């Protein structure tokens, strides 16, 4: 996943590309052009083609996906802005590389190599070059050699057909780790305001053509993406499992759903119909129009899955997208961007920017050219999104926190209800806004149900997420583990076991509580369930509704009339009877109260990514 390339390899690949005619015209890239730590300026010159062509080659051959690349990044002497539209010359001289990096014999043939290398050494501005490398580029379009100092550069997938390369002398600020082993998976330099603005600009430029694309062509591209997700399913599942720490079986199921989402919305492209409305003096009808650039902010618990819930309807309706994954779990969405490129999604339609929510997320929320924000995350951050979006009157969809009730009546199939309950809380280690973390049990069946629930929880296998038999993995981070632990006071009803050694493990835990206790009021977002007794149907409904949230929930009973009464009485967006499932591709998903507003999935999601336009056509002469 992560690879550090030295200049010797750049030289070899440059020669390979040159011989095969793969060095297209240079594009503008952001390079640091001075001594300041944050300085950037746009430069166009042939030497940039070397690095960019390399990255394109590596992506096409599958050797490099998310790269931290050592490339020449600071121009020491002034280089005039070149005309990017001019064709490169027929003949190019190979770059000359000199250096004293240990283990590398960097030497290339070229006219005047020693002379130019000396010139660069003489002109060096004094910036430290710890790698001991110098790259001299000689080209007919330049008056002389360009002296460069290698810096670390990160590939940002901004605009799918063009890989944006951002270079500066800022240090790498983000290390992505495996929560089960605490081992690093990748190092990424986080994007900032400039990169976010660049992504929005690309999305805005791509919008007219994507909007005008025939529905059948848009559907074809989405089907291609769905098929590629299926073909790369195991790869994506392994990536998701390692980055999030979730069991591989669950990750495979989630990736399967991602493909289903894109297949569904490929079929929905031409099925979001308008209306014809009878009026006096003519005809009135409505159209569904795309919004423009939409910002999608997805959480760390289901990064790929929830990204697809937003991407599917957004792209179907003809919008272009800037997607911000969570800093902790960006890898699967970066890979999805690559697959979208392979599927033929046009440049600029899908843009992925990795960075802090306080920087990248805030900029998307406040950016005047972003028409809508779709956010999944905590209720606290959702309030900030609403506040920030108010300045530009943005459309907003919020899928926020939950404290869902799992209501078990005494006449239910207790064995079945108890066997299903652990997976409704401990799946994804409880890091699920739909988790049924309040288990409300009718008092007359409470003791028996508690006994059955402990037995079912004891059977839960906690361990290596890459083991096919594992049912629960670790939490996402050490900080989050400490937060979860802070909710459990005293001796619980049941505390499970976790693997020894590294990893952010927390045991599946059952506690007895009242609905007024903190553990029953606040979202734990971990593998902790609270058992709460109730005395009858009326109290069950009152307790289920006695929460600021209203996202999901379950009702267990053999009485069909009671099930319907309670389902209508509970204030929550998604309910299941004699089941703990919440999400289906074809049905709407979303919450009441402080669990958010707007709907994802199903045909209902298309409403949130389009505006209604009413047109009157006069028939009077």
Instruction: State the Cα–Cα distance between residues 459 and 508, nearest whole angstrom.
Output: 11
- pLDDT score at 171: 44
Tens of pLDDT, residue by residue over 294-348, are 999 999 999 999 999 999 999 999 999 999 999 999 999 999 999 999 999 999 9
Instruction: State the Cα–Cα distance between residues 218 and 138, nearest whole angstrom.
Output: 44
Of 73-77, 331-335, 372-376, 594-598, the range with the lowest mean pLDDT is 73-77
* Higher-scoring residue by pLDDT: 380, 170: 380
Farthest-apart Cα atoms in the chain, separation: 92
* Higher-scoring residue by pLDDT: 101, 357: 357
Res. 518: pLDDT tops 50: yes
Catalytic residue among 195, 240, 399, 442: 399
Torsion from C-alpha of 167, 13, 110, 115, nearest 10 degrees = 20
CATH number attached to the domain at 193-400+601-612? 3.40.605.10
- Beta carbons of 163 and 56 less than 8 angstroms apart: yes
Of 56-60, 218-222, 614-618, the range with the lowest mean pLDDT is 56-60
Res. 74: pLDDT tops 80: no
Res. 248: pLDDT tops 90: yes
Query: Could you give the percent of the chain with pLDDT greater than 70?
Result: 72
Instruction: State the Cα–Cα distance between residues 428 and 250, nearest whole angstrom.
Output: 8
- pLDDT score at 572: 98
**537 band by pLDDT with thresholds 50, 70 and 90:** very high
- pLDDT score at 517: 97
Tens of pLDDT, residue by residue over 446-493, are 999 999 999 999 999 999 999 999 999 999 999 999 999 999 999 999
- pLDDT score at 621: 77
Tell me the three state secondary structure of residue 134. strand
- pLDDT score at 290: 98
- pLDDT score at 173: 75
Instruction: State the Cα–Cα distance between residues 550 and 591, nearest whole angstrom.
Output: 5
Mean pLDDT across the chain, nearest whole number?
Answer: 79
Res. 562: pLDDT tops 90: yes
Cβ-based neighbours of 182, under 8 Å, separated by 6 or more: 502, 503, 504
**119 band by pLDDT with thresholds 50, 70 and 90:** very low
Domain locations in the chain?
Answer: 7-171, 193-400+601-612, 405-593
Tell me the three state secondary structure of residue 247. coil
Give the containing element (helix H, strand E) for 495: strand 494-495
Instruction: State the Cα–Cα distance between residues 390 and 374, nearest whole angstrom.
Output: 14
Catalytic residue among 32, 120, 167, 433: 433
- pLDDT score at 91: 36
Nearest in space to 150 (alpha carbons), one of 123, 128, 175: 128
Report yes or no on whether pTM surpasses 0.85: no
- pLDDT score at 577: 98
- pLDDT score at 309: 98
- Highest mean pLDDT out of 34-48, 157-171, 359-373: 359-373
Q: What angle do CA 157, 59, 184 make, to 5 degrees?
A: 70
Tens of pLDDT, residue by residue over 12-45, are 434 433 444 433 333 322 322 333 333 233 323 3
Res. 436: pLDDT tops 60: yes
Could you say which of 3.20.20.300, 3.40.309.10, 3.40.630.30, 1.10.3720.10 is the CATH number of the domain covering 405-593?
Answer: 3.40.309.10
DSSP readout, 524-576? --SSEEEEEEESSHHHHHHHHH-SSEES-EEEE-S-HHHHHHHHHHS--S--E
405-593 and 193-400+601-612 share a CATH fold: no
Instruction: State the Cα–Cα distance between residues 589 and 62, nearest whole angstrom.
Output: 36
Is 399 an active-site residue? yes
Res. 515: pLDDT tops 60: yes
- Average pLDDT (530-549) is 98
- pLDDT score at 174: 87
**275 band by pLDDT with thresholds 50, 70 and 90:** very high
Nearest in space to 528 (alpha carbons), one of 506, 515, 509, 512: 509
- pLDDT score at 365: 97
- pLDDT score at 107: 26
Is 522 an active-site residue? no
- Beta carbons of 259 and 234 less than 8 angstroms apart: no
């Amino acid at each position: 996943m992560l690879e550090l390339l030295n200049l010797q390899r750049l030289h070899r690949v440059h020669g390979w590309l040159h011989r095969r005619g793969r060095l297209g015209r240079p594009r503008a890239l952001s390079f640091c052009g001075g001594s300041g730590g944050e300085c950037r300026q746009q430069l166009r010159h042939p030497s940039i083609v070397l690095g960019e062509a390399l990255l394109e080659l590596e992506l096409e051959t599958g050797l490099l996906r998310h790269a931290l690349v050592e490339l020449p990044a600071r121009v020491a002497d002034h280089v005039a802005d070149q005309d990017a539209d001019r064709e490169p010359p027929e003949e190019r001289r190979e770059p000359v590389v000199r250096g004293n990096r240990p283990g590398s014999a960097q030497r290339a043939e070229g006219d005047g190599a020693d002379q130019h290398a000396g010139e660069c050494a003489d002109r060096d501005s004094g910036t430290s070059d710890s790698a001991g490398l110098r790259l001299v580029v000689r080209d007919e379009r330049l008056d002389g050699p360009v002296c460069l100092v290698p810096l670390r550069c990160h590939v940002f997938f901004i605009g799918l057909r063009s890989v944006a390369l951002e270079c500066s002398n800022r240090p790498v600020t983000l290390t992505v780790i495996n929560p089960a082993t605490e081992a690093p998976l990748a190092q990424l330099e986080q994007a900032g305001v400039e990169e976010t603005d660049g992504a929005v600009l690309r999305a805005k430029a791509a919008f007219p053509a994507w909007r005008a694309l025939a529905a059948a062509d848009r559907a074809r591209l989405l089907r291609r993406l769905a098929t590629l997700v299926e073909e790369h399913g195991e790869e994506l599942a392994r990536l998701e499992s390692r980055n999030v720490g979730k069991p591989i079986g669950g990750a495979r199921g989630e990736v399967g759903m991602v493909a289903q989402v894109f297949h569904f919305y490929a079929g929905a492209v031409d099925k979001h119909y308008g209306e014809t409305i009878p009026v006096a003096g003519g005809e009135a009808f409505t159209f569904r129009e795309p919004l423009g650039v939409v910002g999608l902010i997805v959480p760390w618990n289901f990064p790929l899955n929830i990204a697809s819930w937003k991407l599917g309807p957004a792209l179907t309706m003809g919008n272009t997208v800037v997607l911000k994954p969570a800093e902790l779990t960006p890898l699967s969405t970066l890979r999805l961007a690559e697959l979208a490129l392979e599927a033929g999604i046009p440049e600029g339609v899908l843009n992925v920017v990795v960075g802090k929510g306080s920087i990248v997320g805030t900029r998307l929320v406040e950016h005047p050219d972003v028409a809508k924000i779709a956010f999944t995350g905590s209720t606290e951050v959702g309030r900030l999104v609403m506040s920030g979006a108010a300045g530009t009157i943005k459309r907003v969809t919020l899928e926020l926190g939950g404290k869902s009730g799992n209501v078990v009546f005494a006449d239910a199939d207790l064995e079945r209800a108890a066997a299903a309950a652990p997976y409704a809380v401990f799946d994804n280690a409880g890091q699920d806004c739909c988790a049924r973390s309040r288990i409300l049990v009718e008092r007359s069946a409470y003791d028996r149900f508690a006994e059955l629930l402990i037995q079912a929880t004891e059977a839960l296998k906690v361990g290596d997420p890459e083991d096919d038999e594992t049912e629960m993995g670790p939490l996402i981070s050490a900080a989050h583990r400490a937060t979860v632990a802070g909710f459990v006071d005293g001796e619980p009803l049941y505390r499970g076991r976790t693997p020894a050694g590294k990893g952010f493990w927390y045991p599946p835990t059952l506690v007895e509580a009242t609905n007024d206790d903190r553990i029953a009021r606040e979202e734990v977002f971990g593998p902790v369930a609270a058992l709460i007794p109730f005395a009858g149907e009326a109290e069950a409904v009152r307790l289920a509704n006695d929460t600021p949230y209203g996202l999901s929930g379950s009702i267990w009973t053999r009485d069909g009339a009671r099930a319907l009464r309670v389902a209508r009485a509970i204030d929550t967006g998604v309910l299941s009877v004699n089941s703990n499932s919440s999400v289906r591709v074809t049905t709407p998903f979303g919450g009441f109260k402080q669990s958010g507003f707007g709907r994802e999935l199903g045909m209902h999601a298309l409403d949130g990514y389009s505006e209604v336009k009413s047109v009157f056509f006069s028939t009077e002469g």
